Structure 1
Amino acid sequence: MAGMLKKLGQGALLCMAVSVVSAQATAQTLRQAMVQAYENSGLLDQNRALLRAADEDVATSLAALRPILSYSAGVTRSFSESAQNGRSASTSADIGLSASLLLYDGGGSRLGIEVAKESVLATREALRSAEQAVLLGAVRAYMNVRLSREVVALRQSNLRLITQELRAARDRFEVGEVTRTDVALAESRLAASRSQLAAAQGALAQAEAEYTNAVGQRPGALGAVSAASVGAGSVSEAMALARRLHPDLAQARHEIAVSELNVKVAESNLKPTVNLRGSLSQNETFQSDSFSKGGSVGVNLSGPIYSGGQLSSAIRRAIARRDQARASLHVTQKSIDQAVEVAFANLAVVRASRTASSEQVRAAQVAFEGLREEATLGARTTLEVLDAEQELLDARFELASADVDAVINSYEALAAMGRMTVEALDLPVQRYDPTAYYNLVKDGPTAVSKQGKALDRVLKGLGKN
């Protein structure tokens, strides 16, 4: 009988091992979750569309330096009636062409092109910042689901243990080893454990909903995760990387360039504008077979004399916004420096916390098992056993939380340095090329051109997503 039980026990352990290995083999990894978050993100789609709109601003600005051609056409039916001449009617047609070309505007239009280009670069950095937020959100959602599931499992285990303790307390009460107070204490702990389990299950449902929002699908089995390699040996090294790589800083620098160019644009409005204009027209009256042709070519010079202070005010406003952009860069840099310091401090804290929590779990496990054995001999009360079990549970919570925090904090450190991108993480995704659309539109192609038709195909393809 003992040999049979031993074989059955070995078979059960083997089945458990096979099932665990199978679950681990099919479990979703953190990298897979980040890939899905990148591919399913509406936030990234939104920012990509904003970038394409900024690309189009370059083409729009470029059009100001190109000739503008337009046409007009019309047919007029005229009729009259009088006692002297009787009735008369005529039909005439007019057609005309006009053209204009900007020759000089103080450099404002060329500066406008540079403004649009710098705005494109700033918007690209905003897209990288959104990419960091999406990937970091996926990491947090993934780890929160893992933590919530572990908390639920611990609460369920705690509920089973307290149920066993309550049963043992009632049995000992029946034989007079403990008082009714010990039973009531166990019953109270059992009710509290059920309440805590319900709360943990609610938190798990919330974490899974947040995961679905961040990743784009419901979480299945999630694999174990190790903390990411930060790639910087000190806070100063990390700060240097952040100042070079962080998209928020790069965006702020491009916005300063935009504001400085806008000051020059505002100043150019004080200068004269020179335009070359030409027109050609033809009129034909069908009844009399008469027609006329005409045309004109000229150069127009115009400029402001007095505008009520509007142009000077626009210059001052542009200067103020330039100063605001410079101050914003200073604030952004300080915020990123602080984020790097906090991230590295949190990493140091969580490493120490995990070591201490691991030792706490070991010691609490030994204490709980010892107290439970002593309680069966009548040397310990039910309350002492329940307190020991609660201390063990708290230690396990702390260890689970430290494991999750270690992973999240490592990725937060990467994000603080500007390295939380698909390129830096080498994620297996089809990466969005921010220059592809720009290269198609930067020369301002017309809709009927070969390049314009290619753009139509691109936009149709994007619309199907």
Structure 2
Amino acid sequence: MAILGWLGAAWPAHAANLLDAVNAARRFDAGIGAARNAQLAGREKRWQGLAGLLPRAELNGGYTKQDQPTAAYAAAVRRHSASATVTQPLLDLSRVANFKRGGTLADQADIEYEKASQSLITDVASAYFDVLFGRDVLQAAEAARQAFHKQLDQAQAALRIGDGTRTDVDEARANLDEALARTVSAQTDLAIASGTLQRITGLTAAELSPISWQCAPQAASVDLATAMDDAARDNVDVRIAGKQLDLSQADIVAATGAHLPVVNLQASYGTSWSRGANENGLDTVFGTTSKTRSSMIGVTVTIPLFAGGGPLSASREAYRRRDQARDALEDARRKARERARAAYLGITNGVALIRAQERVLASADSKVKSTRLGREVGLRTQIDELNAEQRYFEAIRDLADARYRYLRARLQLSAALGTLGDDDVAGIGCNADGPAPAVGPRS
């Protein structure tokens, strides 16, 4: 059988690896841009909460004109006023709760953006692996189609000269038809994966570089128990749930404050003056022309007495919300531990499965050559050779599937631990410096 190279063996001079694809997605994907703006908006909550604890200053001014043409005095009076007021909260638990809530929301915005960044990496990696796996499957399907087409030609030629059987022809045709169907299916899957990749990164499938498999798959860098404990603490969903619990605690503080006095320090300074038009003696007697200044400093206390039971209901709700957030946090921890466990087992089993599938592929290759030799000496039939080749191409697909599942599991473990970043992406596979291996059995 002729040896086939990779589809599109002449890769672009600057083909994109997985890290390049992730960086392209950061520039291209609108979703991560929206997440970044949401983060910046959420950070403002910290300053909004702090503002409630700081003094509030106000300036007020007024001007009125009073006309009484028939009056004996104050026929026309203009009044001016100006004042400045400063209010400083001294005791207001609702403002303290808002300050705490603002800081928590700002922290949560950062974690939400971190989650979006990690989700972007996993989405890009999934699309990237789907494209490369689609290439492998399509390549194997094309190689099988060509091989079975050649076998069909040979079977038909042998039948014409009386050296073959109708069974050989039918078997070769059946294998060819199956290979054609798999080729069409592989083309469809690759087109779908390519569309997903382009939507996220703006890159086409032709711009991706293949992964070299020269590096042996590595086991997880941490043990299972440590991975599960780290996930229960550092997973982004767990941290977000923790912030939700903090928010519920702030709501309890606010609900409690609704039952307590509110104390404010207030200081003000103001001036007012009035002047009458066409003043006469009566204006002087009755004081329609005057100027005053006033200053005030004091403490105001507001004590809630009764509000229809609303504050009590709000308090009960706040405590229930706290319990809900506490249960949600525990649920997030359990799910994170389970995701870490599944990813860890995916890595551990993936290493063993890759090695096993590599042996299966080598055995299938040897069987093709042995069966071909056996047919030449009359010990094997053409059907035996067709079946051996079919199993060989299935072994290629199974090995590719095991490899990409292993790579997915590595990224999934980092995501479960809450540490997924560029270092994890850069560590995927080896550099594809040399030509990719052929997919046809060696002659």
Q: Does the alignment reach a TM-score above 0.5?
A: yes
2:354: which partner in 1?
354
For 1:245, the equivalent position in structure 2 comes to 234
Match of residue 262 from structure 1: 251
Corresponding residue SS for 2:39: helix
Output the CA distance in 1 between the equivalents of 2:152 and 2:197. 37
Q: Is the partner of 2:362 in helix, strand or coil?
A: helix
Aligned partner of 2:210 in structure 1 is 223
- The answer to whether the aligner puts 1:197 opposite 2:187 as a matched pair is no
Name the CA distance, whole Å, in 1 between partners of 2:87 and 2:35.
35
CA shift at 1:230, angstroms? 6.6
Name the TM-score, length of structure 2 as normaliser. Answer: 0.81
User: Is 2:406 the partner of 1:418?
Assistant: no
CA distance in structure 2 between the aligned counterparts of 1:424 and 1:151, rounded to whole angstroms: 26
Query: Which residue, 134, 138, 142 being the options, matches 1:156?
Result: 142
Give the aligned residue type for 2:208.
A
Residue of structure 2 in register with 1:184 after alignment:
170
CA distance in 2 between counterparts of 1:69 and 1:288 reads 38
**CA distance in structure 2 between the partners assigned to 1:424 and 1:154 by the alignment:** 29
1:113 Cα offset (Å): 1.1
Amino acid across the alignment from 2:369: E
Q: Which has the larger displacement, 198-207 or 279-288? A: 279-288
Residue aligned with 2:409, SS: helix
Aligned to 1:37: 25
Kept in 1: contact 2:220–2:344 (CA 8 A)? no
CA contact (8 A) 1:340 1:416 kept: yes
Structure 1 residues 332, 293: CA separation in 2 closer, same or farther (over 3 Å shift)?
A: same
The answer to which of 238-247 and 308-317 deviates more is 238-247
The equivalent residue for 2:286 is: none
Q: Taking structure 1 as reference, are residues 424 and 321 closer, same or farther at Cα in structure 2, changes over 3 Å only?
A: farther
Q: Structure 1: which amino acid aligns with 2:221?
A: A
Does residue 129 (structure 1) correspond to residue 115 (structure 2)? The answer is yes
Amino acid at match of 1:175: I
1:217-243 CA deviation, whole Å, 9 max, x = no partner?
Answer: 223131315688676341012223334
Unmatched segments (≥5 aa) in structure 1: 1-12, 428-465
**Cross-structure match for 1:335:** 335
1:42-70 Cα deviation digits (max 9, x unpaired): 33332332222222122222222233333
3-state SS, counterpart of residue 101 of structure 1:
strand
Contact 1:346 1:409 in 2 (8 A): yes
Cα separation, 2, equivalents of 1:117 and 1:227: 46
CA distance in 2, matches of 1:292, 1:308: 46
Instruction: Look up the match of 2:304.
Output: 304
SS at match of 1:26: coil
After superposition, residues 42-441 of structure 1 pair within 5 angstroms as 42-73=30-61, 92=78, 94-219=80-205, 220-225=207-212, 232-275=221-264, 276=266, 278=268, 280=270, 282=272, 284=274, 287-288=277-278, 290=289, 292-293=291-292, 295=294, 297=296, 299-376=299-376, 379-422=379-422
Shift of 1:24: 8.3
Distance 2:119 2:293 in 1: 63
Structure 1 residue matching 2:147: 3-state secondary structure: helix
- Give structure 2 stretches of 5+ with no counterpart: 280-288, 428-443
- Residue 415 of structure 1 aligns with an amino acid whose one-letter code is A
CA contact (8 A) 1:128 1:421 kept: no
Identity level (%) = 21
Tell me how far 1:387 sits from its aligned partner. Answer: 2.0
Task: Provide TM-score, normalisation by structure 1.
Answer: 0.77
Does the 8 Å contact 1:162/1:189 carry over to 2?
Answer: yes
Query: In the aligned structure 2, how far is the partner of 1:221 from the partner of 1:422?
Result: 18
Q: CA deviation at 1:321?
A: 1.3
CA deviations over 1:335-389 (Å, ceiling 9, x no partner): 1111111111111222222122111112222222333344455654443332222
- Number of residue pairs matched by the alignment: 408
- 386-395 vs 219-228, which moves further: 219-228
Compared with structure 1, are the counterparts of its residues 328 and 25 closer, same or farther at alpha carbon in structure 2 (3 Å cutoff)?
same
Q: Give the number of the structure whose residues are more often helix, by fraction.
A: 1
Q: Deviations over 1:120-143 (max 9, x none)?
A: 222222222222211122222211
Distance 1:307 1:227 in 2: 71
Alpha-carbon distance in 2 for matches of 1:281, 1:227: 85
